[in-house]
Structure 1
Amino acid sequence: MDVPPTPFVNFVVVGVQKAGTSALFHFLAQHPQVAMPTVKELHFFDDDRRCWDAPDYRDYHGRFPRRRGCVVGEATPSYIWWPGALARLADYNPRLKVIALFRDPVDRAHAHWRMSRARGLDALDFSTAIRAEGRRLDGLAPQAPERRHLSYVARGFYGQQVDRLYDVFPRRQVLMLRKEDLANDHAATLARVFAFLGLPPAKIEPCRIFEGAASEAPAPQDVAYLAATYAADLARFALLTGLPVSAWAGGCARGPAPADGRCG
């Protein structure tokens, strides 16, 4: 019996919350020459409990279908942010291709807080939480779950994250996208993604990904506080990526959050 080879992951999708990573995972899984796991976010390379001195990839590879003639990939957004995850990915496959999705960092912070509140992980209001973040996270163990749940401000420093990404992967192996690209220019953006992965074109219909009920926007003073906090880093991010960000730093967060987004 001709058994297909063990999958070897060729690409990952990384990025930030509610930036289109779920939609892109869904679209990629529909391409006939892409093999993806049945679930998004395997969280293999950001798992500090594993022995990374001599990593065992067998259980990781076991999550992927065995299909010949396919590129193999997964989507775990936090790989770009979690300490050590990018270096572990590079050790696993130095030729790995990385697709990174971003959104307005102020909008992202508010969405992150709403998610933590909905899950019962944070009792603070948004204004208090973003100003207390440094104190709340200071002294926590590196692997403490609060670092994932309460890092509303920290995860918005995209320039720092891209600097770390380019430290371990050459730019030719990285494709940078904004949430707006996938939502507003679906076909052209997917064509870029498929070309980046060396795949033939495929017609994939757009979808609507539920984002939760409409919610109150952050207060203007909180938008201003975060916009000022991110200003220098956002300039660095724009310089590194070439992505247009003039509408960011609060532009998306000033109106009510949508009940759903085309590809959010």
Structure 2
Amino acid sequence: MQNASRPTFLIPGVSRAGTTTLHDYLSEHDDIFMPAAKELRFFDRDENYSRGTEYYEQQFANHDGETAVGEASPPYWYRGITFDSNRNYRFDPSDDPPARIREQYPDIKLIFTLRNPISRAYSQYWKNVRQGRERVYPFSDAIEAEIEGSRDHRDTAMCWYYKNQYSTHLERWFDLFDEDQILLLIFEEWIGDPPAALDRICEFLDVEPPEQWRDTDRQKNETKTPKNLRLNEIYHDHLRWTGIGELIYYLNLRTGYPEMDSEMERYLADAFESEISAVERIIGRKLDVWRNDPF
């Protein structure tokens, strides 16, 4: 058994693919310890990483003998990505969370949950709209800005096409870690039957699953989007720290998000076909669930 404060597993991504749900369910297991705060952001934030491993392991100080100790930080998935002049992905070896993790914890177990890159991008887009960070509407205009080059994918987080190409990320993790250290879950498959996926995770982490998981029919991270985009901007720009602003913000939210433009759906389905095929080759299985029911 590892030292009490050392993590034995991580959930490094991807965002908007059920990482919060997995964190919350696994935290309820008696033999799994996860810090109350999701996303410790140690390996991707320099201000945290510079504080050293001892600081990181202090975040697990409440560990009380549980077999599995871990955390979920989706930003570990994508930081370190850069682009060449031909818009091809490359990893920057000086800015690479997977390598940092490999150096500190070479035997750690990794759990990834992958979601159809199109629906994942659309979900992330609306999250950023809600947070006031994305100001290009609609989604199709944001995509077109990337494709045309007016929104530079090399230095902005607001990129919904280039940052959803999974194969380069997966290749990096598989280059650094053995296959038996990695568990890959497909969001569209497990979200319909969370207990089965959680039991599989328990087997992977060498802990016994509970007789019954609690509240697995309850969505834990329900999507909320603004009804009025201009009102959402006013809140973030001028009213965010006021009581009336908070009221306006919540009254302006609705559950779910608008349907994607059908022409953009078809465009992205064609654009991501080769990427999905590349992911299939890496993980050794078909992903027809992304093709047959992509949105």
Scaled to the shorter chain, the TM-score interval is 0.7 to 0.9
Matched, 1:217 2:230: no
Matching of residues 45-60 of structure 1 within 5 Å: 45-49=43-47, 56-60=52-56
1:8 corresponds to: 6
2:283 corresponds to: 241
2:130 corresponds to: 118
Matched, 1:155 2:168: no
Structure index of larger Rg:
2
Matched, 1:61 2:57: yes
1:72 corresponds to: 69
1:127 corresponds to: 140
Partner SS state of residue 199, structure 1? coil
Matching of residues 126-145 of structure 1 within 5 Å: 126-133=139-146, 134-138=149-153, 140=155
Indicate if the aligned counterparts of 2:223 and 2:257 stay in contact, CA closer than 8 A. Answer: no
Q: Tell me the TM-score normalised to structure 2 length.
A: 0.76
1:261 corresponds to: none
Equivalent pairs, count: 241
What letter corresponds to residue 85 of structure 1 in structure 2? Answer: P
CA–CA distance in structure 1, aligned partners of residues 17 and 260 of structure 2: 18
What letter corresponds to residue 45 of structure 1 in structure 2? Answer: F
Partner SS state of residue 226, structure 1? helix
CA-based RMSD of the aligned residues comes to 2.1
What letter corresponds to residue 137 of structure 1 in structure 2? Answer: D
Alignment partner of 1:98 out of 107, 110, 122: 110
What letter corresponds to residue 219 of structure 2 in structure 1? Answer: R
CA positional deviation for 1:85: 0.9
2:93 corresponds to: none
Q: Tell me the TM-score normalised to structure 1 length.
A: 0.84
Indicate if the aligned counterparts of 1:9 and 1:73 stay in contact, CA closer than 8 A. Answer: yes
- Deviations 1:112-160, CA, capped at 9 Å, x for gaps: 11111111112112111112225423563xxxxx32xx12112311122
Closer, same or farther in 2 for the Cα pair 1:139/1:18, shift >3 Å?
Answer: closer
Closer, same or farther in 2 for the Cα pair 1:23/1:51, shift >3 Å?
Answer: closer
Matched, 1:204 2:202: no
Indicate if the aligned counterparts of 1:15 and 1:21 stay in contact, CA closer than 8 A. Answer: yes
CA positional deviation for 1:58: 2.3
Matched, 1:28 2:37: no
- More relative contact order, 1 or 2 (CA 8 Å, 6+ apart): 1
- Deviations 1:151-194, CA, capped at 9 Å, x for gaps: 21123111221111101111110000011233112222111100
CA positional deviation for 1:252: 3.6
Indicate if the aligned counterparts of 2:77 and 2:169 stay in contact, CA closer than 8 A. Answer: yes
Indicate if the aligned counterparts of 1:11 and 1:74 stay in contact, CA closer than 8 A. Answer: yes
1:256 corresponds to: none
Unaligned stretches of 5+ in structure 2? 81-95, 225-254
1:82 corresponds to: 79
Partner SS state of residue 289, structure 2? coil
CA positional deviation for 1:229: 2.0
Closer, same or farther in 2 for the Cα pair 1:11/1:139, shift >3 Å?
Answer: closer
CA–CA distance in structure 1, aligned partners of residues 151 and 193 of structure 2: 39
1:257 corresponds to: none
